[in-house]
A and B are shown apart, each in its own frame.
Chain A
Amino acid sequence: MLNTSALGDELRQLLDNYPVTPGYDELVEPDGNIRARWQGVLDELADLGLDGLSQRSEEVQNLLHENGVTFNVYEDDAGKLRSWQLDPLPYVISTQDWEPLEQGLIQRSRLLEALVEDLYGERRVIRDGILPPELVYTHPAWLFAAADNQHRSERPMLIFHGMDVIRDHLGEWRVMADWTQAPSGAGYALENRILLARAMSTLYRDAPLRRLAGFLQAQHRCLAQLAQHHREEPNIVLLTPGPGSPGYFEHAWLANYMNFSLVEGGDLVVRDGQVAMRTLGGLKTVDVIVRQITDPWCDPLELRGDSLLGVPGLMQAARRGEVEIANTLGVGVLEHPALTCFMPALCEFLLGEPLLLKGRETRWCGEPEHLQDLLQFPPRWQLRDISDPGTVIHPEHLTTSQRERLQQAMQHSPHLYVGQLPMQAASTPSFNSREQRLQPQPVNLRLFSLADPGEMKKPARERQHRIMPGGLAWVAEPGTPVMESTLVKDIWVLAPVTQPHVSLLRQAHGPVLVTRDGKDLPSRVADSLFWMGRYGERLDNRTRLLRETLGHLLEDGQLPLDQTLLPDLFTALEVELPDFDSTEDTPALIRARKMNSRSSRQFILLREKLLDQLGEQSMDGLPWLFSHFLRNSRAVRDHLGDDAWRTLNSLRQKFNDLPRTQGASSGRRSLEDLVTHLAAFFGLCNETMPHHYGWRFMDIGRFIERLLTSLELLKLALITAQQPGIPLWEVVLATTDNLTVYRRRYRSQLHPTAILDLLLFDETNPRSVGYMLKRLGRQIERLPQPGSSPFRSRETRLVIEATSRLHLVDLDSLVDLDTSRDARKALEALLDQLIDPISSLSDAISHSHFSHAETPRQLVTLQTSV
């Protein structure tokens, strides 16, 4: 029984039913007493009370959600992002427990560093028979191209090392896996710490826990040191596979936090032997690459030729020391799960000391006797195929023929198969918010080591590593990938005394590059910002127009169609009218009949067409537009403010719900809400983004889109409409958000000439064509001019063309629009003359400013031979 006698009521309730298990429990000792390291935390929880804890927990989830902590798995549909919950209860490690763990982790980093240097250097471990050659040479991340040590630099290959650790049911630390290519999770760990410190400020301020800020600073110093022989203020970039990759959120987050440029392979090019970043102002040399791309994909010249993520020539640049890559290419071989079997021997051989931390139970089929055992598929053993990392094979779930195929494959290449025994983890309390009590759960930890920045240039034997005093914990059976967990935890390493709380946000920044966001802006980022602007604006316009149309449907939907504006509005939306003559039933008709709806057939069909625009199937429907908008926004995550990002996240939620909208009036309400959020998003962008190139590109995108929509609407309302007249003009004014301005200026009388003035010529009205042209002209003028030619750029000329047509138009020819045919003709000509150049503007800008690096191609050698 749990000994709760010393606890207050609140805690007793919280610990209600918390079992005392025979295995190791993090919270409770075998005799039922609470472990000392939890005392402080529990006291704080008692102060919060049950309600307080629930509230905080909820707040944490909200913060997490708003900040868009999401990860994306390649297989998932684009745009379908999953996210996890954050346990308000941390994973607590006492000072006494931490010390041996820390020592063990440091040793492991030293060992792996020594191993990888040997593997890509002398290969003594293979020559002396410690490590079988087929284990090393068949790992997908073993790079033959990296195995020449003529230009080896005197610095560690393994700068940053992630280790998955559990405490097993006997209370012993076990290392489950190593992450060396692109160790993820440090960003999440920081984010979790920041959120929890915000939500549970007293607890975090007063708790005697080790702080993370120092580690991050050290990481920045470490990376800057790598480049020190180049320059004072090195250009450090974070190379990501892109927004489609599982870790993209973290990449963007870290880049932002550490003040690195977030780049994709296509942003980099090797020229003059150096790696350079394509920016608006031309090429800018890169000193250090923090790469988040796995080994085989980094260079299509020397590694996988089919890689579109990498940079051709990167290996050679790194080999020549022109650029430093952290971690060095080729270290991925250290992630081989069968290395565990050889760790004790390797440790003795390379370091001359016994291995401190045990790994997990592992058998490598490259050893004939283990192959024979595992071919029988002994119960509980799982298998891993080295050529397919990340996949765990459960033989008991396979069909007979699958098992036979697996056995054949194992016999053909035994060295590619590894058996692992599932581990049993100690139980750790986590907060069950639904039942409001603590529950024992298995937990995995990801901990990180860093090559000590002060000792990087020392000989390998004297170098040290430091361990991040914290990390990412996730609730799941041991060995479950972090991505598959739904609940994560902060890790507390207790310090003997309370350590000063250092704000991670203020102090961890590295040296500030004064020119950031200037011409250094990667061309791809400018491209994405431009399209974010265009898609966002298009989304806004369509949303408004749909809202107006649904309004008219509700008012006039039962009237004969030719007495309503609906045909014109459908035209404006570019949606075809439903086929009223068809005798076939549509899904909406069937549903209406079932529900004995009193609405007319016409109404139902029209409504169905409009609500289709909220569905995911419709091309050019709102969710489709939003997914493009979101994709571009995600690609520039590090350029958007936190508040703008939060707004984007609630928009995402709304768009997820949108396809389920039933009924015209609720549809209209949802759209109303979207309009407000979109306005908030762009408002925040305008308020928080530095008004520099990036912002200008977004603005240009928005205004090109808005201009084109306004012109098309004007053309419809004043010239091509079937039902021209005041009601339609009202729609135009409402869609362009001009109705209030108009009313104030002209009272309630609507007159075409007045509308025309307001929407075309009045430069003080931000929704007028005149204003928009002026703004575009100004923005374009201030873009960097590549190649500084004395001639005006094409985009400038296009804006001048449109502006002068507007300015030079004979106003007298446009009066009496409602009666004069000639006036309408003149207006139509004018509108076309405006639409023409503006339609070409987008291409012109894209041509002058965005990177058009074509995908590099392989030179195929077909050789004639005898």
Chain B
Amino acid sequence: MKYLLRHTTRYDYTSSVTLSHNEARLLLRDLPWQKCENTRLIITPEPLRQHERRDFFGNRVVYFAIQDIHDSLEVTVESQVTTQPRPQPDIGMTTPWETVAEQMAPGSHHQNPVTEAACLEARLFTLDSPFIRRQPELAEFAMESFTPGRPLIEAILHLNRRIFTEFKYDPEFSTLATPVLDVLHNRKGVCQDFAHLAIGALRSIGLAARYVSGYLETLPPPGQEKLLGADASHAWLGVFVPSWGWMEIDPTNGSTPSERYLTLGWGRDYADVTPLKGVMNGGGAHDLHVAVDVLPAP
């Protein structure tokens, strides 16, 4: 698929900002199934300094500093993105999930050195992270899907469906940092919450899971025209499958990401891939306005 992506974030401050240092993780990664072209990052007011680098996870990060006194900040990304279907693991894979959890545990070793290295690298994603803590209650929640001896892939897909069917999507409920247990107890939240919940559940039973941030092309209700700016950022997760790689699932929609999913980057949780961070002098209160368009390109 080909898309035109446009994502604008605008802050209006109640008092002037004299100096701000910012970090944007708003540029899409190039991946085997995703190519980006003609990417533009437009920042207003124009920053004095701007540098791009790759972070620990390989995500693209742009640092920029604004020194002119300003009352608003607008960051827009435009990109032409071509996506292809992601590789999918063999649904018939029979490895029981317990075997995988054992392989991920410290002290275990794999015969194949390539698998061993991959497992070592993925072990970071079995640990607690800023927003996600492993806990017995989450393990219990996971166990309903991860029944004894069940093949890993089957169990993952079951968990994915369960969150989709048992939880209510409710944008009113969530603040940015909803504790995972609140989501579990109230059975509602938004995409970040569901991704965090699934990651927490998987880590609590010893599996490696990472947070993926990106976009999803939304389709208008049948017979209606798509509204501009109506799309939004999206979040899902990847689960590590040894000897294969990272399998992605989207518990918000109960599906596995397809060509309609554009990947920005990944990390241990939301904290590692916050789209726009900043520290500033001045500013007072601020209004935030976000508009995202994922438009199919001709």
State the A residues within 8 Å of B (CB).
126-127, 129, 132-134, 137-138, 144-145, 147-148, 150-151, 269-273, 300-302, 305, 312-313, 316, 319-320, 366-368, 412-415, 853-854, 856-866
Contact = CB atoms under 8 A, between A and B. Distances in A.
Contacts of A305: 279
Contact of B279 (A132, A147, A312, A864): A312
A864 B174 CA distance: 10
A151 B53 CA distance: 9
B242 interface: no
Contacts of B67: 271-272
Contact of B20 (A129, A859, A863): A859
A126 B116 CA distance: 11
A366 B106 contact: yes
Nearest to B21: A313
A271 B280 contact: no
User: What 9 A-B pairs are tightest by C-beta distance, nearest first?
Assistant: A859-B278, A313-B21, A312-B279, A144-B56, A147-B56, A856-B279, A312-B21, A866-B232, A301-B279
A272 B48 contact: yes
Contact of A270 (B65, B128, B231): B65
Main secondary structure of the interface of A (DSSP, over half): loop
A854 B281 contact: yes
A835 B68 CA distance: 40
Interface stretch (B91-99, B117-125, B149-157): B117-125
B127 interface: yes
A148 B53 contact: yes
B232 A302 contact: no
A413 B128 contact: yes
B120 A127 contact: yes
Given A137-B124, A273-B65, A866-B216, A857 B279 contact: yes
A134 B120 contact: no
A297 B124 CA distance: 23
Chain B interface category by residue count? 35 or more
A145 B274 CA distance: 13
B227 interface: no
B69 interface: no
Contacts of A412: 134
29 contacts: A132-B106, A132-B123, A133-B120, A133-B124, A137-B127, A145-B56, A148-B53, A151-B53, A272-B67, A273-B65, A300-B279, A301-B21, A301-B22, A301-B277, A312-B21, A367-B106, A367-B107, A413-B128, A853-B281, A859-B276, A859-B278, A861-B9, A861-B275, A861-B277, A862-B176, A863-B176, A865-B190, A865-B234, A865-B235
Contacts, number: 140
A857 B280 contact: yes
B263 to A, nearest CB: 15
Q: Which of A305, A319, A866 has the most CB of B within 10 A?
A: A866
B232 A134 contact: no
Contact of B120 (A129, A150, A272, A320): A129
Given A148-B53, A412-B134, A269 B107 contact: no
B7 to A, nearest CB: 10
B187 interface: no
Given A145-B55, A271-B65, A859-B22, 20 more contacts: A127-B117, A127-B120, A133-B124, A137-B127, A138-B127, A271-B19, A273-B48, A301-B21, A301-B22, A301-B277, A301-B278, A312-B21, A313-B21, A319-B53, A856-B281, A859-B11, A859-B277, A862-B175, A866-B231, A866-B252
B290 interface: yes
B259 interface: no
Contacts of B65: 270-271, 273, 313
Interface in B105-153: 105-107, 109, 116-117, 120-121, 123-124, 126-128, 134
Contacts of B109: 129
Interface in B16-45: 19-23
Contacts of A126: 120-121
B164 to A, nearest CB: 13
B252 A861 contact: no
Contacts of A860: 176
B49 A272 contact: yes
A150 B52 CA distance: 11
A859 B191 CA distance: 22
B141 to A, nearest CB: 17
A305 to B, nearest CB: 8
A579 B232 CA distance: 70
Contacts of A300: 279
A861 B176 contact: yes
Contacts of A861: 9, 176, 274-277, 288
Nearest to A143: B56
A300 B281 CA distance: 12
Contact of B288 (A151, A271, A313, A862): A862
Interface in B205-261: 216, 218, 231-235, 252
Contacts of B11: 859
Interface in B163-191: 171, 175-176, 190-191
A104 B137 CA distance: 49
A147 B124 CA distance: 14
A861 B289 CA distance: 10
A757 B276 CA distance: 67
B283 interface: yes
A368 B107 contact: yes
B53 A863 contact: no
B79 interface: no
Contacts of A312: 21, 279
B171 A864 contact: yes
Interface in B57-81: 63, 65, 67
B218 to A, nearest CB: 7
B283 A857 contact: yes
Nearest to A860: B176
B269 interface: no
A133 B56 CA distance: 14
Nearest to B135: A412
B246 to A, nearest CB: 16
Contact of B106 (A320, A368, A857, A866): A368
A164 to B, nearest CB: 28
Given A301-B277, A864-B290, A148 B55 contact: yes
B56 to A, nearest CB: 4
Contacts of B103: none
A302 B123 contact: no
Nearest to A127: B117
B248 to A, nearest CB: 16
A270 to B, nearest CB: 7
Contacts of B252: 866
Contacts of A144: 55-56, 272
Given A134-B106, A316-B21, A866-B191, A858 B278 contact: yes
A856 B277 CA distance: 13
Nearest to A862: B176
Nearest to A853: B281
B54 A273 contact: no
A238 to B, nearest CB: 23
Given A137-B124, A137-B127, A861-B176, A866 B218 contact: yes
Given A415-B106, A854-B282, A857-B280, A865 B21 contact: no
A865 B127 contact: no
Contact of A148 (B54, B107, B126): B54
B77 to A, nearest CB: 14
Contacts of A366: 106
Contacts of A862: 175-176, 288
Given A316-B51, A859-B280, A134 B123 contact: yes
A627 B229 CA distance: 58
Contacts of A137: 124, 127
Contacts of B83: none
A437 B146 CA distance: 71
B160 interface: no
A372 to B, nearest CB: 11
Contacts of B234: 865-866
